[in-house]
Chains A and B, each alone.
Chain A
Amino acid sequence: MDAEQTEWDREKVQAAVCSDAGLMTSQIVILKTLVARGMSSLAGNRRKGWLIAPVWWIFPNGASAQGWDMRAGVTEMSQQVQMLHHVSLWICTGVGIVVFGAMFYTIFAHRRSKHPEPATFHENTKIEVLWTLIPTLILVGMAVPATLTLRDIEDNSDADLTVLITGSQWKWHYQYTEADIGFYSNMTTPLEQINNIEPKGENYLMEVDNPLVIPTNLKVRFLMSSDDVIHSWWVPDFAVKQDAIPGFINEAWTRVDVPGIYRGQCTELCGMNHAFMPIVVEVLPEDEFLAWIEDQRIANELAGDAAVAARSREWTMAELMPMGEDVFLTHCATCHQPDGAGQGIKYPALAAALDPARVISTGPIEAHLDRVMNGLSETEMQAWAPQLSDVELAAVITYERNAWGNNTGDIVQPLTVYEAR
């Protein structure tokens, strides 16, 4: 089942649950239709039409009425959490109505023009005890269900499946500990959309190359950690938000009932591209999930074969350069810029002409390989060896050594990369 199909199914099943931007858009259509109907019923009194016009203005891009509230989500926990949210919201609203009601009444009735002689009372023990006790009781009433839900949320025992989630600037790394499968998940929204050159797509900033895939109806345990700074993994539809802290492992879990695509974002400021670290989770029915795992295994094997084939032959500059440019634009350009010019003092220029002090991309190949493959600890330059294939690494290094006027003429072969691993 492809992604769109899944989404469509969910819409049927769960029309009331708003869980991703795609759905929000479909709901705004409904909302606008409703409003339009309201407008036409007001047609007799056309002067009132302007009352409704601002709706278009407030939601030009389609946040729906549903999108104004915390979502119910698709897990038991997320629904409980939404319930807690609603209970506390309504309690606050009730207290607010009483307090503000009294206040606005007195503002209206006890202004000098209406009430010239002020009273003189200034204490009343009975009422003071009362308005200490009543709120305390209300709070106890709120704390009880919250405690119960919290106990469930913190119960990480008896998981059916474990995924290790590692944040690094600015992507997520998912590893299935039981299945020996792992991959990185990068945002795919192109820079042109971010820089307003191209129109923005429906899932602007909320789309990735490799979504996390999990099965329905099984308890999935997430272990969170980080390679560099603190990130936070949040999928609102699961009500799972957990910090990914370097050097430590946090736990969370979910059990999703409804297949579909769910989106979230990193919620802990983690540097320059914090806004560009989305999370996409594809929830598949159990049998499809098992098939997917099998596909991944086969793909891994094929990739292994391809790697063997790749390093057993010579690659030409003409083959490597376009591929290298691709890799560079996808993985490196956020920091080093598409033209290799770098940014500020933090992100060095790779075009030798722009930063003569830095010689790695025109100097000895071994140093260059080492920097790109192993990164440099305590800087944002991360190790790329685990993330990219031999061919990709060979391509991007060849590209760096020949683009932007670097013109070293060097061709780095996948075999060289393989040997350097």
Chain B
Amino acid sequence: MIAHAETTPPARHPLVSFILRWVLTTNHKEIGTLYLCLSFTLFLIAGAMAMIFRAELAQPGLQFITADFYNQMLTLHGLIMVFGAVMPAFVGLANWMIPMMIGAPDMALPRLNNFSFWILPFAFFLLLSSLFMEGGAPNFGWTLYAPLSTTYGPPSTDFLIFGIHLMGISSILGAINIIVTIFNLRAPGMTLMKMPLFVWTWLVTAFLLIMAMPVLAGVVTMMLTDRHFGTSFFEASGGGDPLIFQHVFWFFGHPEVYIMILPGFGIASQIIPTFARKPLFGYASMVYATVAIAGLSFVVWGHHMFATGMPLAAELFFMYATMLIAVPTGVKVFNWVATMWRGSMTFETPMLFAIGFVVMFTIGGFSGLMLAITPADFQYHDTFFVVAHLHYVLYPGAIFATMGAVYYWLPKWTGNMYDERLGKIHFWSAVIGLNLTFFPMHFVGLAGMPRRIVDYALPYAGLNLFTTLGAWMLGLTQLLFLYIVIKTIRGGEKATDQVWESAEGLEWTVPSPAPHHTFDTPPRVE
């Protein structure tokens, strides 16, 4: 009797077992899928917010929303894109690909993996619920500057703070897992300097996460105690200093920028050699450049604060350090071009996204270099020029890279080829939308339009209309991406194991679709 009871699990409703399967899964591929789905959902939500405030900005005057709601949309758009869309997307890709690329059977800490994912939906539930609270959602920008966010923040700010704590825990646990996996579960023969670049960049990113996220957690905790427990970290009347907030925030914030870009560098370094049919140029210098960028990223935070009244010596230091980052970044771009040089290229959708990434990221890099010039930054700072810059870096660096990666590995994940024609349409409409949206921002910024304003003077009108049209185009285009992915999951031309003619790496040695468990016995790497 007892034996019988043990072997027959109680019959469950299929929906219940479906939910339990996903809630309890410890499989790196399933958790990767969960991360990617959550990320895309939040990407659409934060994108919709951008479309709302862009609609308001299409014309001078107030048309659709109030100034306060505009500020709420702006804040949530930034926070959700950074913590909800970009970071989980990269963690999702890491989950799917790192074990397969290093010949590991799974992540090293599968239950921790499950935990770090399932924290996230709650974190974003907390954050989004603030929209429905009395006083509205946080409305002080994603940079959370005190005292606007402390003394003057709406009650929902506390939910934001706890949401950020949860996101931080999730990221730190995820990063620990990735580091442990890479250091311990590599297949025999896979030395560090043989690892694919995606793995390398993620290793460095994971260290950045472990160093940066606790700082963010710390600074929002200081906000919390300032708000409720009578401390005065950021309150001059109590002996504090609002600038401490900015220093600590940007000490997290600048490494965060590279957290959102390094994995993109890795992805481009996987895709370009495959479609150029030629090995990556300068593998070793790519690795060193990644490490150099990560190191420098901790000593440049002051470039966000040139207008706060820093002493000359500090301004000079941050200017030089920031300019220096252009060197390793340049090396990367040159290496990608050299990889393409005298290759035999074809331009499938992943390659298009990778090239789009390199070109537009480089444009963002140029404006970044311009922003580093402190005297000129006094004119650029907090104008739309900065908005243009950061979106040229992040949209190609994070979103294009992720989408390129999805097209690149989707056949491996699903066993089906995606629709190449639709993929190309998606790429081109995204490129056009992106440039229509963000290129004119350079000009309105230079002409003098501050960022984060709900209404603007008449001279900026025409270009803002362009930006709004571009933003709507860019937003709607992503629905096509959703359609393409769903279509590929449901069927399509069968993919071979190799998928791409000259793709190299362990992930292409397993069948397509990749079975639930791969590399139960480690492969040998020559």
Binding site for B on A (CB under 8 A): 21, 24-25, 57-64, 67-71, 77-78, 80-81, 84-85, 88-89, 92, 95-96, 99-100, 102-103, 106-107, 110-112, 115-124, 127-128, 131-132, 135-136, 139, 142-143, 146-147, 149-151, 153-154, 193-196, 200, 202-206, 224, 228-230, 232, 234, 236, 239-243, 245-248, 250-251, 264-276, 343-346, 378, 380
**Pairwise interchain contact A103-B134, C-beta atoms closer than 8 A:** no
Q: Does B152 reach chain A (CB closer than 8 Å)?
A: yes
- When C-beta atoms are compared, the residue in chain B nearest to A201 turns out to be B458
What's the Cα separation between A195 and B315 when bound, in Å? 42
Q: Let me know if B462 and A63 touch, CB within 8 A.
A: yes
Q: Does the CB pair A117–B379 fall under 8 Å?
A: no
Which residues on the A side are within 8 Å of B278 (C-beta)?
118-120, 122
| A80 near B446: Cβ-Cβ < 8 Å | no
User: A96 — nearest CB in chain B belongs to which residue?
Assistant: B366
| Known contacts A123-B284, A344-B134; A84 and B147 CB within 8 A of each other | no
Q: How close is B306's CB to chain A, nearest CB, in angstroms?
A: 9
Given contacts A64-B459, A241-B378, 19 further A-B contacts (CB under 8 A): A21-B459, A63-B460, A67-B447, A70-B446, A78-B379, A92-B369, A99-B337, A103-B340, A115-B342, A117-B344, A151-B312, A200-B60, A230-B145, A230-B147, A242-B307, A247-B235, A275-B450, A346-B135, A346-B154
Whether B342 lies near A103 (C-beta < 8 A) is no
- What are 16 contact pairs spanning A and B, CB under 8 A? A58-B466, A64-B459, A81-B375, A99-B333, A106-B345, A118-B278, A119-B343, A122-B283, A131-B334, A132-B331, A153-B378, A200-B61, A228-B151, A248-B243, A275-B454, A344-B136
Which of B235, B237, B242 sits near A230, CB closer than 8 Å? Answer: B242
Specify the chain A residue showing the minimal Cβ separation from B363: A96
Decide if B450 touches A266 in the complex (CB within 8 Å): yes
Contact B358 A103, beta carbon cutoff 8 Å: yes
| Cβ–Cβ < 8 Å partners of A68 in chain B | 443, 446-447
Q: CA separation between A274 and B450, bound complex, in Å?
A: 10
How close is B139's CB to chain A, nearest CB, in angstroms?
8
Please name all residues of chain B whose beta carbon is closer than 8 Å to the beta carbon of A118 when the two chains form the complex.
276-278, 342-344
Interface centre among B285, B376, B383, by most chain A C-beta atoms within 10 angstroms, is B376
Question: Contacts of B324 on A, CB cut-off 8 Å?
Answer: 139
Give the docked Cα–Cα distance between A368 and B242 (Å).
32
Question: Do residues B152 and A131 form an inter-chain contact, with CB atoms below 8 A?
Answer: no
Known: A71-B448, A269-B140. A110 touches B345 (CB 8 A): yes
Question: What 1/0 flags go to B341-377 for Cβ under 8 Å of A?
Answer: 1111111000000010011001100110110011110
Contact A150 B375 (CB under 8 A): yes
Given A96-B366, A146-B375, A194-B61, also A275-B330 (CB < 8 A):
no
Q: Give the docked Cα–Cα distance between A124 and B331 (Å).
A: 13
Cα distance A287–B21 when bound, in Å?
82
CB closest chain-B residue, reference A246: B236
**Which secondary structure dominates where chain A touches chain B?**
mixed
A21-B458, A275-B454 as given contacts; A139 in contact with B379, CB under 8 Å: no
Q: Is the CB of A269 within 8 A of B373?
A: no
B459 CB, nearest partner CB in chain A, Å: 4
Bound CA span A64–B379, Å: 19
Point out the residues of chain B lying under 8 angstroms from A232, CB to CB: 307, 382
Q: Is the CB of B68 within 8 A of A378?
A: no
**Nearest 7 A-B pairs (CB), nearest first?**
A247-B236, A275-B453, A250-B309, A92-B366, A119-B342, A118-B344, A267-B382
Of the candidates B242, B331, B340, B443, which one forms a contact with A110 in the assembled complex, judged by CB atoms under 8 Å apart? B340
Q: In the complex, are the beta carbons of B316 and A200 less than 8 A apart?
A: no
Given A110-B344, A112-B346, A272-B71: A243 and B375 within 8 A (CB)?
no
- Bound: A344/B135 CA distance, A: 6
Chain B min CB distance to A197 (Å): 9
- List the A side residues contacting B334 at CB < 8 Å: 99, 131
Q: A243-B309, A270-B148 are in contact. Are A112 and B345 (CB under 8 A)?
A: yes
Q: Is the CB of A111 within 8 A of B345?
A: yes
A228 vs B146: C-alpha distance in the bound complex, in angstroms?
Answer: 10
Verify A57–B462 contact, CB threshold 8 A.
yes
The docked-state distance in angstroms from the alpha carbon of A216 to that of B156 is 49
Interfacial residues of chain B within 279-295, with CB under 8 A of chain A in the complex = 279-285
Q: If the complex has contacts A96-B362, A110-B342, A200-B61, are A139 and B327 also in contact, measured as CB distance less than 8 A?
A: yes
B71 proximity list for chain A (CB < 8 A) = 269, 271-272, 274
Q: How far is the CB of A82 from chain B (nearest CB, A)?
A: 8
The one of B140, B382, B461 in contact with A61, judged by C-beta atoms closer than 8 angstroms, is: B461
A70:B379 contact, CB within 8 angstroms: yes
Task: State whether A21 touches B370 (Cβ < 8 A).
Answer: no
Closest residue on chain A to residue B367 by CB atoms: A92
Q: Give min CB distance, A349 to chain B, whole Å.
A: 14
Q: How far is it, in angstroms, between the C-alpha of A387 and the C-alpha of B323 when the chains are bound? A: 46
Number of cross-chain contacts by CB at 8 Å: 313
Is residue B129 contacting chain A, with contact meaning CB distance below 8 A? no
Q: A-facing mask of B459-477, CB < 8 A → 1, else 0?
A: 1111100100000000000
Q: In the bound complex, how far is the Cα of B344 from the Cα of A230, in angstroms?
A: 55
Q: Is the CB of B461 within 8 A of A236?
A: no
B320 at the interface (CB under 8 A from A): yes
Q: Is there a chain A Cβ closer than 8 Å to B209's Cβ?
A: no
B455 touches A24 (CB 8 A): no
A residues in contact with B243, CB < 8 Å? 245, 248
Neighbour of B382 across the interface among A88, A111, A268, A276, CB < 8 A = A268
Residues of B within 8 A of A107 (CB): 340, 345, 347, 355
Could you tell me the distance between the alpha carbons of A84 and B448 in the complex, rounded to whole angstroms?
17
Beta-carbon nearest neighbor of B237 in chain A: A247
Instruction: Give the CA-CA distance A131 to B458 in the complex, in Å.
Output: 45
Choice from A88, A128, A196 contacting B282 with Cβ under 8 Å: A128
Does any Cβ of A come within 8 Å of B381's Cβ? yes
Inter-chain CA distance A253–B458, complex, in Å, is 29
Q: Which one of B135, B323, B347 has the greatest number of beta carbons of chain A within 10 Å?
A: B323
B308 within 8 A of A: yes
Q: Known contacts A119-B343, A272-B68; is A88 also within 8 Å of B373 by CB? A: yes
Chain B hits for A275, CB < 8 A: 67, 450, 453-456
Beta-carbon contact of B461 and A60 below 8 Å? yes
B497 CB-CB contact with A under 8 Å? no
Which residues of the partner chain A approach B347 to less than 8 Å between Cβ atoms?
A: 107, 111
For A169, the closest partner residue in chain B by CB is B152
Closest to A380 in B: B152
B236, B285, B326, B379: the one within 8 Å of A241 (CB): B379
CB contacts (< 8 Å) of A246 on chain B: these are 147, 236, 242
Q: Known interface pairs A70-B379, A139-B327, A230-B145. Does A236 touch B459 (Cβ–Cβ under 8 Å)?
A: no
Q: In this complex, what residue of B is CB-closest to A27?
A: B459
In angstroms, Cα B60 to Cα A21, docked, is 14
B63 at the binding interface (Cβ < 8 Å): yes
* CB pair A251 B309 closer than 8 Å: yes
CB under 8 Å from chain A, chain B span 120-165:
134-136, 139-141, 145, 147-148, 151-152, 154-155
* Chain B residue, CB-CB nearest to A379: B152
Query: Are B152 and A92 in contact, with the CB atoms below 8 A?
Result: no
Q: A99: which B residues are within 8 A, CB to CB?
A: 333-334, 337, 362
Instruction: Verify B450–A131 contact, CB threshold 8 A.
Output: no
Query: What is the minimal beta-carbon distance from A396 to any residue of chain B, in angstroms?
Result: 23
Against A, the Cβ 8 Å flags (1 = close, 0 = not) of B235-273 are 111000111000000000000000000000000000000
Distance (Å) between the CB of B360 and the closest chain A CB? 11
Bound-state CA distance A350–B347 (Å) is 65
Q: Which residues of A contact B376 (CB under 8 A)?
A: 70, 81, 84-85, 88, 146
Residues on A with beta carbons closer than 8 Å to the beta carbon of B450:
234, 265-267, 275
Contacts of B339 in A (CB 8 A): 122
Q: Which B residues touch A103, using CB under 8 A?
A: 337, 340, 355, 358-359
Which chain A residue lies CB-closest to B445?
A: A70
Question: What is the CA–CA distance of A95 and B330 in the complex, to the nearest angstrom?
Answer: 10
- Taken together as a complex, chains A and B put the C-alpha atoms of A221 and B244 apart, in Å, by 26
A96-B366, A153-B378 as given contacts; A21 in contact with B326, CB under 8 Å:
no
Chain A hits for B424, CB < 8 A:
none
Determine if A200 and B315 form an interchain contact, defined as CB atoms under 8 angstroms apart: no
